[in-house]
Structure 1
Amino acid sequence: MLRIKSILLGGNNVSVQDKFVPLKEVHIEGKIHSFAADVTIKQIFRNDENNPIEAVYCFPIEEQAAVYKFIAQIDDRQIEAELKEKKQAQQDYNNALQQGRGAYLLEQNEQSQDNFIVNIGALLPGKECHITISYVTELNLIDNGNKIHFVIPTTIAPRYNPSQGGISSPARTNSEYVQTTPYTIDFQCQIDKTNVSSVSSTSHPIQIEFNQQDYYLVKFSQNETHLDRDILLDIHLNKQRSNTILAIESNALMISFTPNEQDCQRAMNNVEVTNEFVFIVDCSGSMQDENKIGYARQSMVLFLKSLPLNSHFNIIRFGSSYKPLFDQATDLYNEENSKKAEQLVNNMQADLGGTELLNPMKWLEEHPAQEGRSRQIFLLTDGEISNVDEVLNLCRSMSKSSRIFSFGLGQSPSRSLVKGLARSTNGRFCFIPPSTKVDTYVGQQLEKALQPSITNLEIKWNLPIEIATAPKVLPPVYANDRLIIYGLINDPTIVFDHQIRIELFNNQQKLSEATITQIPAIIQNQTISRLAGKALILELQHSKLPSIPKGSRQTRFRELNQQSIDKQQEEQRERIINLSLKYQILSPHTSFIGIEKRLNGNNEQMVLREVPIQISADDQHLVQPAPTNGAFMQCASSMRSPLSHMFASMASHKDRSDRRGRHKKPISNYLGCYSSRDISLHCAKQIACMYDAFEIDESRKVFLDDDEESEEKFPNDDENIVRYLIDKQNFDGLWNLDSEIIEKLTGKPLKQFQYSLDDKLIVSIIIVILLETRFSSYSSMCHGMIQKSKKQILNLLNKDQNHFESLFQQIQKQL
C-alpha cells in the first residue's frame, strides 16, 4: 500500500509550526435558491514572520462552479482582481513581485479542474490579507428528484501520479499533506424555504435556525472545525411541487425540466438493446480505509444480482496494474460466469498498490463493444489520481458506444474525475460518503443504466427574438433527473407574458412543455448568465476534438500531423478563453490577477510559504499506520506488506464484532488472494490467540468458532430482510425459498398459494409483490432485480401477459 513520502510530510513530523502557516481561518457562506447556490469563500492570511512571504494555498471548488469574483483586502485597501488570459496574468504577477509590489493571483488547475490555487505575493510582516472568492453553481437532484445534494469541497485527497510512481502534491505545488492544521473552517448557509421540507447533513453536526421568514439558516453546531471532509447538505423537497422552474435575468433565462417515467417510456419507444456491462473496481491501497473496498464489494453484489440474462459483462480490478476477470472484453452472463464473478467479489481486497486508471481504460478502448451492443461502464473509485485530464481525453473517444456511470467513494474523491467521466460519455455520476447505504445509490444508477437515456433533445423557446441555447447540444436525461437549459438573450427589452410556451422535443416528438403562468421577477445578479457561460465552457472542455484524416504514414510526416492536432487544441483553448472573458468567469486558461501599488517596495527577502493541506479523514492511513493490537502488529510485521492490510482488516473487524455483538466471519474472508504459504502456522496461531480462539487443523486452514455453521437467523427488520432477499435471489432472477421462510414473510404457509405452478415460480411472484409493496421504500435498490425476475416469470408463462397480470393480482389479494 502506498504511503506519502516523508518529503511531503515535512520529514518525520506530520504537523507544522503555526507561524509558518500563513492561512489562519476559512469562512464559507452560501445562499441556496431553487436551482443554484451562490457561495463566498473568505480566507484570512497573516504573516507572523520577520520577512515578507509569498503564500500559496491549493484548495478545491466544484469543477462546474462559475467563479466570478476575487478580492484581496489589506488594511483599508481593497484590490479587486481582473480576469486575464492565464499566461498574461502569470507574467503580470511575476513582474509585480520583481518591482516590489503586492500581487494576488487565482488560478484553476488545467489537469485537475476541481483544484484552485491562490497566490499572495509579498505579504509584509505583521500584516493580514483577507481573500474573498465568489462563485455560483448548479444544484444536483438525487433520490429520484426528491432531494437536493449540496457539496462544499474542503480537502484535496492525495493523488497517485503514475509518472512518479507515488503520491504527488496537487496542482504542481509542493504543498505538504499533514494530519492536522492550525487553520479551521466556519460555515453558514441560507436556504430558501420554497418547496423545502427539511435539511440534514451526513458530514457535520449542524444547527438550523427557523425564525427567518424566507429562509433557513444552517450553521455548524461545533466550533474549531477542521477541513478533513467535504461539507454535505441534503435538502429534502416537498412532494407537492412543480417539476418546472423558470428564472429570468435581463439578458438570460433558465428553465429546468424533470421528465417522469412515462415521458422516458414514450421516448424509449420500448426498444430493447443488448447491453454489455463492465465493472471497473479500484483495488488500490487507498481503498482500504473507511471500508471503501467493502462498499465496492457490497455494490458489486447488487450489480451482479441485477444483470439481465443473456447480457455480457466483465469485472476489471485496477491499481498499479489491472486484472480483468475474463480475457476478452466481455463474456456471457450465465450461471457459470456468475459464480466466477461472485467468487472474485467475495475475495476482493485493496491490494493492488497505486491508482492507475488510464491503462484499464486503454484496454477497453482497444476492445470496443460489438456492433449492435451498448456498453455500460461502472467505475467505483476514490478518485485519487493526478492525470485526470489524460483519462478524460481517452474516455471521450469511447463515448459513441459507451457510457460511464462513476461512483466516488469516501470523504474526498476527485470530483473532477468522477463528474468528468460521466459527462464526457453521457453517463451519470454520484458520490457515496462514508457510513451511508451504498446499495441505494447503486440501485438508482443501475436503474438508469438499464434503460436508454433520452437523447437527441431539442428546445423550442417560442419567443419573438433569437435565443442562444446553452449548452448548444443538450445532454441526455433520465427519469426524475433535472435538465437545466439556459437561453442567452441579445435584446434586454423583451417582455415576457402568459402566452409564452417553452417546449422540449425528442426526435421531433414533444416530450414536455412549460407554460408561464406567473411572470417571475427579473433577477439582477447575473447568476443565470454566469452559469450559462460556464455550461458553454464545460461543453467545450468535455467535447472530443474532431479527428484529422491522417496523411502520409512516413515517420518524417508525423510532425505535420501533430501540428494539425495542436492547431485544433489551440483553437478550442481560444474559444474557452473568449467565453471566460465574455462572461467574466474563471476557466482553466484564464486567471484573476490583482496588483497592489507600493512606494519603495522591496521583495528581495521574500520567503515562499505553501500552506499545508489537511489530509481527509479517510486518508489518514497514508500518514500513519492503522492503530492495531500490539501483539497483532508484532506478528504482522514479520509478514509481507500486503498481508499487513489483511491483518489490519481482521483486527478492525474483531473490534467491531466485539462492540456490536455480531458473529465473527471466517478468516478465509480476509485471506482473499493470499495463499496458505503466505501465512505460517506459527503466526496463524498467534493471530488465533488474539482473535478469540480460532481452530487450526492439520492442513493449516484457519477456522472461526462453530457459530458460523449454526442455523442462519432470519432478519427482523425491513432493511435486512431486503438484503436477505437480494442475497437469496438465484442467477436466473427467481427465488427458491422454503415454506417456512414464506410464512415468516407473509404469515401464511406456501401451500395456501396453490395455482398448479412450480413452487419456485409462485415464491418469486410473492417476493416481487412484497418488494414492490411492503418494501417499496427500497425499490430503487431492487429495481434491476425486480425487472429481471418479472421478465423471467413472463418467459416461463410463455409470454402470456394476461396470465402474468392475473397471477400477480390473485396472489396480491391473498397477501
Structure 2
Amino acid sequence: MVNCWGLLTEKNEPVPLKQVEVEVQVRGHVASVSSTLQYENKEERPLEAIFVFPLEGDTALCHFSAKIGETEVVAELQEKQKAKERYDDAISSGQQAFLLEESEESPDVFQLSVGSLPPGEKASVTLSYVTELAVQADEALRFCLPAVLNPRYAPQDSGSVPQVTSARSVPYTLSLSVQLSSPSPISKVESNCPLEPLKYLNTEKTQATVNLSPGHTFDRDVELLAYYSGAHQPTAIVEMGQPNAKSGSLMADPVVMLSLYPEFPAAVTSSLASCGEFLFLVDRSGSMRCKMHSGPGAQLRIHSARDTLLLLLKSLPIGCFFNIYGFGSTHDSFFPKSVEYSQESMDQALEKVGVMQADLGGTEILSPLKHIYSQPCLPGHPRQLFIFTDGEVWNTKEVLDLVKRNALSHRCFSFGIGEGASTALIKGMAKEGSGHAQFITGTDRLQPKVMQSLRFALQPAVKDIAVKWNVPQGVSVTPLSPPMNVLFQGQRSLLYAELTGQFAEAAEGSVSVQYHLGEQSVQNQLSFSVKPGENTGLTIHRLGARTLIRTLETELRTAEQDEQEGRSKKEVERLRKRVIELSVQSGVSSVLTAFVAVHAGSSEPVKGSLVRRHVPTPRAGILMRCGGGPVPNVYRSLACAGPINAGGPRKVKKKGFFRSLKFKCASAGAPPRPTRNFQMLSISCDDSEIEPVSFTSHADMEVPEPPQPPKDVLLQLISLQKASGSWDLVAELAEVFGKTEEEVAKQKPSQVDSGVWATVLALLWLHGFRQEDEDEWQLVAMKAVSWIRAQKGGSVSQCVQAGNALLGCQVQQGTLGL
C-alpha cells in the first residue's frame, strides 16, 4: 500500500513536485527565464511524474537539464518520436529519464515527464527560455509567468490532447526573483502579486532587482509591469554569433533585433473612419461564469463582456455596419447578417446584450469563425473582427490556420479574459489577422483595453508595407521575421534578421519601413551599428530562430493539408527537415522536437508498471464552489442532452466545458436545492462522460446569479447616449450628475435646445469628473462633439459657462473640442 504522506492533492494523492524556483533577467524588451522544479519521491515504489503546464505562446524554450544528487544531465534536443522512444527505453531498463515536449495542438502548453524516480530520491529539473515583453497601452512592459492552466475544450475530432490535472490550489510553492536592466531609468515595477520593495543597483536607476513576497500562493499567473523612461524609443541590437557554431548556420552569424515604433502623421491620426463592418464574437461558454479575479467586487466574465459591448455599441460611427455573435458548443448571432448602425439597430442589440448569459456549453470557436468567414464582405466597409474569450480551447493551431487563410478579408482584434487564457490563441489570432491582442487579468478593466483596439480599428489601414535595409558593401541581410502586414500608431513591431559578411569596426547600417496611410506615403527610418555588440547569451538568436520556426511550422501545416488533397509530398518533407534542423541547431524546441535526458541510475529494470503521479496545475475558476455557496445551472453550462430524470444516476454524454466532471450532493439521498452545498469529486480533461446524481428537471438547479457590484456611473451615463452621439435631458441623466431633472432644466440657457444642453453637460461631466478614464469615453465624446457642431442655433459658450456652475467644475470650452 502506498504511504500518502507529505504533499497531497485534493484527492489525497502524493505530489512529488515540492517547489518551483524562478529566476528572471529582464534586459530592455526581452526576458530570460530559468525555472527549477524540485522533485522528491516519498513513496515506496519508483514513480513517473507527469506535469502539464503553460508557457507564453511566443516563448523560445532553449535549455533543459536535470540534477540527481551531484550529477547533472543536460538534455538533448531530438526529433520528437526518437526522443520519446529513447525516454521509454530508458525507464523500462531502470534508468532515470526526463522528457520535455510541446503540445501538438497548442504551442503554449508543455508536458514534463520525470521517469523512474526511485523511492527516497530527489531530482531538480531546470528549464530555460527567452521571451519578448509586450508593450501595454500605458507604455509598461509586461512579463507573465503563466501558472494557471484551465481545462480546455477539445472538439471530438481534435488530435493528441495531454491529460491535465488541475486544482484550485496546489501544494508546491513558488519563489521568484527578477533582475532588470535597461538603457533608460527604471521608473517602477508593479504586479498582480505581492512584491518586496524594488531595489536599485546603481545611481542611474538602470539596474534593479525585485522579488515575489514570501508565502505567495501559487494560484494565479504572475504578472510584472516594468516602466522605463522612454520605453517607446526605436532600438536596434546586433548580437554576435556563437564561436563554435557550424559555419554558415544561423547561430554562427550575427543577428539583429529591431524594435520599431511607427509615428503616423497627425493629420491622419486625428480623423477616424466612419465606415466599416464591426463583428463582435463573444465567448458564452460555461467558463465565462467565472469571476474576473478572486478579489472583492469582482465581476463575472460574462458581465464584464456585457459592459464592454455597451461601450462598443455606443462608440461606433454612424454609417457603419455591425453584428454580434455568441459562441459555445453552438453559436448564434443577433441579426441574420450585419445591419447598418442606427438608433433602432443599436437599441435592439443593447436589449439582447442585457440578457446575454454564459449558457452555450463548451468553447468551440472554430465553427463560428468558419461561419463568419463564409459571409460576403460589404464593399466599402472593411471587416473588423473583435473576439472576446477566456481562451480555453485545445485546437489552437487549427483556429490560427483558419484566421491566416482569411487574413486578407479582415483585421482581427483578440481579448483574453481572466486567468489561464491561452496566450498562443489570443496572440496568434491577432498576429495572423493583422490586428492587436490584449489580456485582461487580475483587477484589470476590460473596457479601456477594448477601446484602444477600437481606436486602432478606426485608424486607416496601413498598406504596401515594405522593409528596406541599407548595409555596408560586403554585408548581406536575411530576414527571419515574416513580412510585416500590420502597423498601428504607437505600437511596437519587432523584426529579426541574420547578418552575414565582413564587418568593419565602425560600420553603420539602417532600416526603413515604408508604407501608405490613407493618401500619404510615409517612411520611418532607424540607424544602427552593424558591428556586433557584447555576447548577451544568444537571447536574440534564439528569439529569431523561434520566429522563423513558427513561420515554418505554419507553412508545414498548410503543406500537409495540400498533401491530404493529393498534392506533392516533397514540400512536406522539406519543411519537416528544415524545422527539425533549425530547432536542433539553435537549441529552440519546436512541435517536431523534444528535449530528452537520461541518467543511468541503478540500471535495475522496474518490476511492474511505474506509479504514475500527475502533478496538478493551478486552476483559476470553476462553475461550482466546493463546500458551500450557490451552484449555477451546471447542466445548462455543460450542454447536457435532455432532462435529468428521477430513477437513479445515468451517464450523460457531453460536448462542452470540462471533458469530465463528477459531483455529488453533500447530503446523500436528497435531491439538491438551490442553496445545497456540493462537493467536487473529480475533474479531468480526457474523459467524455459525466455521472451526475438524479434530478427531476433542470429547474431544480436554477439559482440566481451572485450579486454583482453596482454599475459604474460612467457606464450609466454612456448607456443613455443616443447613436447620433447626443443625450436627451431625462431624469436618469440628471441622476448621474447628482441632480433632479427640474434642477438641470432650470439652469438651461434660454434659446438653447435641450439636447444640446444635455450633451454639453455630459461632456463637462466626463472631462471634469472622469478624466482618468478618458481611454474609455474618448470615442463617445468625439461623437458628441461632432453632433453639437452639426446643430444650429444656441450658444455653446453659454452652455459651458452654465454647465460648469451647475456641476461645480471648471472645464474650458477648448478642452471639450468645441
TM-score by length of 2: 0.78
Q: Given the alignment of the two structures, is residue 325 of structure 1 paired with residue 328 of structure 2, yes or no?
A: no
Corresponding residue SS for 2:197: strand
Report what 2:261 is aligned to: 258
- The letter for the 2-side match of 1:143 is A
Report what 1:362 is aligned to: 370
Q: Check 1:524–1:180 CA distance in 2 against 1; reply closer, same or farther (3 A cut).
A: closer
- The letter for the 2-side match of 1:128 is K
Following superposition of structure 1 onto structure 2, how do residues 724-735 of structure 1 map, counting pairs within 5 Å? Answer: 724-735=716-727
Larger deviation: 627-636 or 345-354?
A: 627-636
Distance in 2, matches of 1:505 and 1:581, equals: 35
Aligned-pair distance for 1:721? 5.3
Aligned-pair distance for 1:778? 2.1
One of 207, 231, 235 as aligned partner of 2:226: 235
Distance in 2, matches of 1:518 and 1:809, equals: 51
- The letter for the 1-side match of 2:211 is K
Report what 1:308 is aligned to: 317
Q: Given the alignment of the two structures, is residue 149 of structure 1 paired with residue 142 of structure 2, yes or no?
A: yes
Report what 1:474 is aligned to: 484
Q: Check 1:242–1:401 CA distance in 2 against 1; reply closer, same or farther (3 A cut).
A: closer
Post-superposition CA distance 1:170-207 (Å, at most 9, x none) = 963334333333212221211226332111112x1111
Corresponding residue SS for 2:428: helix
Report what 1:585 is aligned to: 588
Q: Check 1:80–1:211 CA distance in 2 against 1; reply closer, same or farther (3 A cut).
A: same
Corresponding residue SS for 1:323: strand
Report what 1:696 is aligned to: none
Distance in 1, matches of 2:537 and 2:497, equals: 16
Q: Check 1:321–1:623 CA distance in 2 against 1; reply closer, same or farther (3 A cut).
A: farther
More helix as a share of residues:
1
Distance in 1, matches of 2:283 and 2:623, equals: 18
Report what 2:777 is aligned to: 782
Distance in 1, matches of 2:196 and 2:398, equals: 42
- The letter for the 2-side match of 1:471 is S
Q: Check 1:38–1:633 CA distance in 2 against 1; reply closer, same or farther (3 A cut).
A: same
Q: Check 1:341–1:620 CA distance in 2 against 1; reply closer, same or farther (3 A cut).
A: closer
Larger deviation: 254-263 or 101-110?
A: 254-263
One of 673, 678, 682 as aligned partner of 1:634: 673
Distance in 2, matches of 1:310 and 1:562, equals: 43
Post-superposition CA distance 1:699-725 (Å, at most 9, x none) = xxxxxxxxxxxxxxxxxxxxx554343
Post-superposition CA distance 1:366-410 (Å, at most 9, x none) = 213234432111111111122222222222222111222111111
Aligned-pair distance for 1:813? 9.4
Whether the aligned pair in 2 keeps the contact of 1:140 and 1:150 (CA below 8 Å) is: yes
Distance in 2, matches of 1:641 and 1:449, equals: 46
Report what 1:219 is aligned to: 211
Report what 1:43 is aligned to: 37
Report what 2:178 is aligned to: 189
Corresponding residue SS for 1:427: coil
Report what 1:536 is aligned to: 548
Report what 1:433 is aligned to: 441
Q: Given the alignment of the two structures, is residue 513 of structure 1 paired with residue 525 of structure 2, yes or no?
A: yes
Report what 2:296 is aligned to: none
Corresponding residue SS for 2:196: strand
Report what 2:430 is aligned to: 422
Distance in 2, matches of 1:299 and 1:26, equals: 37
Whether the aligned pair in 1 keeps the contact of 2:274 and 2:320 (CA below 8 Å) is: no
Distance in 2, matches of 1:333 and 1:813, equals: 25
Q: Check 1:647–1:603 CA distance in 2 against 1; reply closer, same or farther (3 A cut).
A: same
* Superposition misfits of 4+ residues, deviation over 6 angstroms: 268-271, 517-520, 544-550, 622-625, 628-633, 636-642, 745-757
Report what 2:239 is aligned to: 249
Q: Check 1:598–1:210 CA distance in 2 against 1; reply closer, same or farther (3 A cut).
A: closer
One of 118, 124, 133 as aligned partner of 1:130: 124
Q: Check 1:582–1:517 CA distance in 2 against 1; reply closer, same or farther (3 A cut).
A: closer
Aligned-pair distance for 1:30? 0.8
Report what 1:199 is aligned to: 189
| Total equivalences in the alignment | 709
Whether the aligned pair in 1 keeps the contact of 2:169 and 2:619 (CA below 8 Å) is: no
Larger deviation: 398-407 or 603-612?
A: 603-612
Q: Check 1:535–1:755 CA distance in 2 against 1; reply closer, same or farther (3 A cut).
A: farther
Report what 2:645 is aligned to: none
Q: Check 1:34–1:734 CA distance in 2 against 1; reply closer, same or farther (3 A cut).
A: same
Q: Check 1:526–1:571 CA distance in 2 against 1; reply closer, same or farther (3 A cut).
A: same
Q: Check 1:787–1:192 CA distance in 2 against 1; reply closer, same or farther (3 A cut).
A: same
Corresponding residue SS for 1:456: strand
- The letter for the 2-side match of 1:583 is S
Post-superposition CA distance 1:10-34 (Å, at most 9, x none) = xxx971435x322111111111121
Aligned-pair distance for 1:746? 13
Aligned-pair distance for 1:432? 0.7
Report what 2:245 is aligned to: none
- The letter for the 1-side match of 2:265 is Q
One of 562, 574, 579 as aligned partner of 1:576: 579
- The letter for the 2-side match of 1:259 is P
Whether the aligned pair in 2 keeps the contact of 1:462 and 1:501 (CA below 8 Å) is: yes
Whether the aligned pair in 2 keeps the contact of 1:256 and 1:485 (CA below 8 Å) is: yes
| Consecutive unaligned residues in structure 2, runs of 5 or more | 1-7, 241-253, 292-299, 633-665, 677-693, 794-810
Corresponding residue SS for 1:618: coil
Aligned-pair distance for 1:324? 0.9
Aligned-pair distance for 1:51? 2.2
Aligned-pair distance for 1:140? 0.3
Whether the aligned pair in 2 keeps the contact of 1:628 and 1:648 (CA below 8 Å) is: no
- The letter for the 2-side match of 1:62 is E
Task: Report the RMSD for the aligned CA atoms in angstroms.
Answer: 3.8
Q: Given the alignment of the two structures, is residue 603 of structure 1 paired with residue 606 of structure 2, yes or no?
A: yes
Whether the aligned pair in 2 keeps the contact of 1:247 and 1:255 (CA below 8 Å) is: yes
Whether the aligned pair in 2 keeps the contact of 1:156 and 1:613 (CA below 8 Å) is: no
Whether the aligned pair in 2 keeps the contact of 1:548 and 1:565 (CA below 8 Å) is: no
Aligned-pair distance for 1:137? 0.4
Q: Given the alignment of the two structures, is residue 442 of structure 1 paired with residue 450 of structure 2, yes or no?
A: yes
Whether the aligned pair in 2 keeps the contact of 1:406 and 1:418 (CA below 8 Å) is: yes
Aligned-pair distance for 1:460? 2.9
Q: Check 1:288–1:643 CA distance in 2 against 1; reply closer, same or farther (3 A cut).
A: farther
Corresponding residue SS for 1:617: coil
Whether the aligned pair in 2 keeps the contact of 1:112 and 1:171 (CA below 8 Å) is: no
Report what 1:287 is aligned to: 288
Post-superposition CA distance 1:28-78 (Å, at most 9, x none) = 111112110111111111122222222221111111011110011111111
Q: Given the alignment of the two structures, is residue 527 of structure 1 paired with residue 521 of structure 2, yes or no?
A: no
- The letter for the 2-side match of 1:172 is V
Aligned-pair distance for 1:80? 0.8
Distance in 1, matches of 2:736 and 2:117, equals: 75
Q: Check 1:635–1:247 CA distance in 2 against 1; reply closer, same or farther (3 A cut).
A: closer
Aligned-pair distance for 1:281? 1.1
Distance in 1, matches of 2:771 and 2:789, equals: 21
Distance in 2, matches of 1:795 and 1:188, equals: 57
Report what 2:651 is aligned to: none
Larger deviation: 416-425 or 285-294?
A: 416-425
Distance in 2, matches of 1:598 and 1:293, equals: 52
Aligned-pair distance for 1:112? 1.3
Larger deviation: 771-780 or 609-618?
A: 771-780
Corresponding residue SS for 2:523: strand
Corresponding residue SS for 1:54: strand
Following superposition of structure 1 onto structure 2, how do residues 709-748 of structure 1 map, counting pairs within 5 Å? Answer: 722-737=714-729, 741=734
Q: Check 1:100–1:184 CA distance in 2 against 1; reply closer, same or farther (3 A cut).
A: same
Larger deviation: 765-774 or 417-426?
A: 765-774
Aligned-pair distance for 1:542? 4.8
Whether the aligned pair in 2 keeps the contact of 1:51 and 1:605 (CA below 8 Å) is: no
Q: Check 1:811–1:252 CA distance in 2 against 1; reply closer, same or farther (3 A cut).
A: closer
Distance in 1, matches of 2:349 and 2:358, equals: 17
